[in-house]
Amino acid sequence: MNKTLNLNASVYDLCTLHPELKNLMKDIGFDHISKPGMLETAGRIMTIPKGARLKQIDLAHVLDALREHGFEPVFGEETNNERNH
């Protein structure tokens, strides 16, 4: 069963809901995510698409990698879980 990832949610919220996402994102090229404090600060306002633009990583590549690892990336409104984390 795929895990839905709301691409409009912050990286912090997504990594809180799916802790395994942090290492996957690092492997994709978001190397700063593993720096101490980065997830807790910039991650609270950064989304995956914004991060991809900032790091000049093709969003299609990111989405393919997420799908390969069992995630279903969608663009949608924040869920209650995402707002409460």
Domain boundaries, the chain: 3-84
**What is the mean pLDDT of the segment spanning 16-23?**
96
Local confidence band at 15 (pLDDT 50, 70, 90 cut-offs): very high
Count Cβ atoms below 10 Å from residue 6 Cβ, excluding itself: 21
Whether residue 81 is predicted with pLDDT greater than 50 in this model: the reply is no
**Secondary structure of the chain in HEC code, one letter for each residue:** CCEEEECCCCHHHHHHHCCCHHHHHHHHCCHHHHCCCCCCCHHHCCCHHHHHHHHCCCHHHHHHHHHHCCEEEECCCCCHHHHHC
- Per-residue pLDDT at 1: 62
Q: Class of 3-84 per CATH?
A: mainly alpha
Q: What is the pLDDT of residues 21-80, one digit of tens each?
A: 999 999 999 999 989 999 999 999 999 999 999 999 999 999 999 999 999 999 977 544
Whether residue 84 is predicted with pLDDT greater than 80 in this model: the reply is no
- Per-residue pLDDT at 2: 77
